[in-house]
Amino acid sequence: MNVLNGKIAAIETNGSLSIIEIQIGSIFFKTILIETPNSVSYLKEENEVKVIFKETEVVIGKGTEHVVSLQNKITGTINDIEKGALLSKLRIKTSVGIITSIITTSSVLKLDLNVNETVTAMIKTNEIMLSQ
């Protein structure tokens, strides 16, 4: 799993759902949780949290500009690619550290992804977990 250290920047709550904005270095990620500041104590602005997401939930876009609904985006360069028969593991060097993505090998071939190339790693809002 990918684990990044961040700080809670903003909390928007409606009923028992909250959208939390987290600052990680110079970028911002958002996540939706079935929690509120009343249900768990660590949901407080300025609090340090761990931002957790699975490698298999990291979407890869070639280049930097994409018209997509995903709000969590970070650009970086491909550090290394481990190609398997069906799946491949990409490690992307970003301003907040290495982010690992597991996508199909056929996508790696179709997008012609290579080491040192600039890519955007994207994660859906509902795929990000927080932990203290």
The answer to whether 93 touches 39, Cβ cutoff 8 Å, is no
Other beta carbons within 10 angstroms of residue 58's beta carbon come to 22
Taking CB under 8 A as the criterion, the residue among 12, 63, 82, 110 binding other proteins is 82
Applying CB under 8 A, does 34 fall inside the site for other proteins?
yes
**Helix ranges, 7-130 (H):** 105-110
Taking CB under 8 A as the criterion, the residue among 8, 22, 24, 33 binding other proteins is 33
Number of amino acids touching other proteins (CB under 8 A):
28
| Number of residues in the chain | 132
| Residue whose CB is less far from other proteins, 27 or 102 | 102
Piece of the chain touching other proteins by CB under 8 A; list 5-13, 22-30, 48-56, 61-69? 48-56
Taking the C-alpha atoms of residue 70 and residue 115, their distance in angstroms, rounded to an integer, is: 24
Taking the C-alpha atoms of residue 76 and residue 63, their distance in angstroms, rounded to an integer, is: 9
Task: Catalog residues that contact other proteins under the rule CB under 8 A.
Answer: 1, 31-35, 40, 42, 52, 54-56, 82-89, 100, 102, 126-127, 129-132
